Chain A
Amino acid sequence: DVKVTQSSRYLVKRTGEKVFLECVQDMDHENMFWYRQDPGLGLRLIYFSYDVKMKEKGDIPEGYSVSREKKERFSLILESASTNQTSMYLCASSLLPGGRGGTEAFFGQGTRLTVV
């Protein structure tokens, strides 16, 4: 079974803190993604990565950065957390890059982050 594991289910952080959300996948997938999910807005792509040390901005990268030092791990960083970053964060991974072949994405269980 493919497993995508996010390090925390729930996090509470203070405004201005630097926050790290960790995601690990065990299927040697090239692609990894970070989405945030908000009521009425669905899933919005923050950043994605095609390979180690590669990253691409998604639709809403402002206020976030990412790190992919190893293939299996993709970290989302909130440089200075703000209350409007309170959300559910979902990590995903998929096998094949670009548009080649089936690109099913496997999701982690999500991290609900509250910034106070």
Chain B
Amino acid sequence: GEDVEQSLFLSVREGDSSVINCTYTDSSSTYLYWYKQEPGAGLQLLTYIFSNMDMKQDQRLTVLLNKKDKHLSLRIADTQTGDSAIYFCAEKQAGTALIFGKGTTLSVSS
């Protein structure tokens, strides 16, 4: 079947904005999520968006959703070294568990 697609690596400088992109599989997915995984830890929910929204902002985080293209993005403003982690995009289809992308490793250099 189709996969949730993400680029594997992103490298930015401290203070710049980071944009992590994701393409999901099912246009009927009701919720879309961004999870963060720091080294040696489990996944932590960062933010999520309902499918009837096209944008959600939460402090330094902005999520954009393009349902027509099944494209989701996460923008982190003023990226800090503490933002270095793996970021997973996930979609929730009816009756199933969350389906995850392979994760984008964000590296922030000072």
A residues whose Cβ falls under 8 Å from a Cβ of B: 4, 31, 33, 35, 40-43, 45, 48, 58, 90, 92, 98-99, 102-110
B97 near A48 with CB under 8 A, answer: yes
4 nearest interchain CB pairs?
Answer: A99-B94, A42-B102, A107-B42, A43-B100
The secondary-structure label for the interface of chain B is: loop
A42 near B94 with CB under 8 A, answer: no
Contact with A along B39-79 (1 / 0, CB 8 A): 01111110010000000000000000000000000000000
Set of chain A residues within 8 Å of B41, measured between Cβ atoms:
109-110
Taking A90-B43, A92-B43 as given, write out 15 further A-B residue pairs in contact, using a Cβ cutoff of 8 Å, ordered by the A residue number.
A40-B8, A42-B101, A43-B100, A48-B97, A98-B94, A98-B95, A102-B31, A103-B31, A103-B98, A104-B33, A105-B43, A105-B98, A107-B35, A107-B42, A107-B44
Q: How far is the CA of A90 from the CA of B44 in the complex (A)?
A: 12
In the complex formed, the residue of A with least CB distance to B8 is A40
What distance in Å separates the Cβ of B8 from its nearest Cβ neighbour in chain A?
7
Set of chain B residues within 8 Å of A98, measured between Cβ atoms:
94-95
Q: How far is the CA of A108 from the CA of B44 in the complex (A)?
A: 9
- Contact partner of A108 (CB less than 8 A), chosen from B33, B42, B45, B88, is B42
A104-B45, A107-B44, A109-B41 known; A41+B102 contact, CB < 8 A: yes
